[in-house]
Amino acid sequence: MKVYFYHTQDLNYIHREWQAGRFPSHLLYGACELPSEGIDVVMHQHTDPKLPRWRRTLDVARKILTCKEPFDAVYATKHNGLELIILLRAMGLFRKPVIIWHHQPVPRQKNPLKKLLARFFYSGIDHAFMFSDNIVRESIATGIIAPEKLQQCPWGADLDFYDRLMAANPVVHRDFISTGKERRDMPTLLSAFAECPGQRLLVIAPVDCCGVNYEEMFKVERIPENVEILINRTMWIPELAQKIWHYGCICICCEETNYTVGLTTLVEALAFGIPVIISKNPNQPFDASEMRCGISVPYYDKDGWRDAINAMAHDSDLLKSLGNNARQLAVSTYNIRNCAYIVAQRIIGCVAKA
């Protein structure tokens, strides 16, 4: 069996770097591990993300429809750029199953015509993996997609990559770090650390993301003396991982959203066995406090963040326990090999039904 794998990011670069041992595989959502499950993979030749959306969609469709290698299904990390193939599948003109990851709940449609069109579009998706039960529930409630097409899947990190990094870099873990780029609630985070003068925080932030210019924000925000700001212009996951591994606790302070903002940082923390303080987001696959791998704090709760920081800083037994639980959760469930196994079983089922 063989699948055509589509990604909106430069999967060809990531795949080459993974083969060389320089990049974790989880950004390819199990595609690197599928051959171990008996499913070969045709890698999409990356489509320029700077193209207008209609041109990207046409380019993706052209590459899939003219692919010279035979394949049995399409497996994609998003539906963005795959719209034409999905529509052709809905019309019965594309005969191979389409299996995707859906990062947000299926949008509700109040307009009856728009709801009808949405149902038609989603009929072209044979199966959709989602990151949490809450996103599945909200999607089912729309009445747009059949419940049997939806599945929560535990996406997780490439533990082999992180194990090699940890073994090669014995370090002393101390202080707090905040990485990530999407929807970060910097005012709350900075205000909390201003009330914890004995604790140090390194913030690594992009120049801008999702309409927020962090570089400009930090010019006007009051930065506490115990907080260091590093604007990230070049580092991606491998370089950031090298830095994160030196720290004792990871802060994932986010704005309220309808998706799993901060999940990449969270699963990386699990792989490292580093506890987190994280905004309490019902769309995450699990609650850090409930799973005893960190402390979850309500959105915009400065006092809650201050208390969590102090708890992590002054209770070494708590820090160690939470870190051990984090790693156990990664090994048992939230790792890319387990994810790939679940994905493979669903792909095989969809192909058998097609």
| Ranges in the chain, pLDDT < 50 | none
* Per-residue pLDDT at 211: 87
* Per-residue pLDDT at 288: 98
* Per-residue pLDDT at 134: 97
* Per-residue pLDDT at 277: 98
HEC sequence for the chain: CEEEEECCCCHHHHHHHHHCCCCCCHHHCCCCCHHHHCCEEEECCCCCCCCCHHHHHHHHHHHHHCCCCCCCEEEECCCCCCHHHHHHHHCCCCCCCEEEECCCCCCCCCCHHHHHHHHHHHCCCCEEEECCHHHHHHHHHCCCCCHHHEEECCCCECHHHHHHHHHHCCCCCCCEEECCCCCECHHHHHHHHHCCCCCCEEEEEECEECCEEHHHHHHHCCCCCCEEEEEECCCCHHHHHHHHCCCCEEEECECCCCCCCCHHHHHHHHHHCCCEEEECCCCCCCCCCCCCCEEEECCCCHHHHHHHHHHHHHCHHHHHHHHHHHHHHHHHCCEHHHHHHHHHHHHHHHHHHC
* Per-residue pLDDT at 309: 98
* Per-residue pLDDT at 13: 95
* Per-residue pLDDT at 214: 93
* Per-residue pLDDT at 122: 97
* Per-residue pLDDT at 48: 86
Q: Note the pTM of the prediction, 2 decimals.
A: 0.95
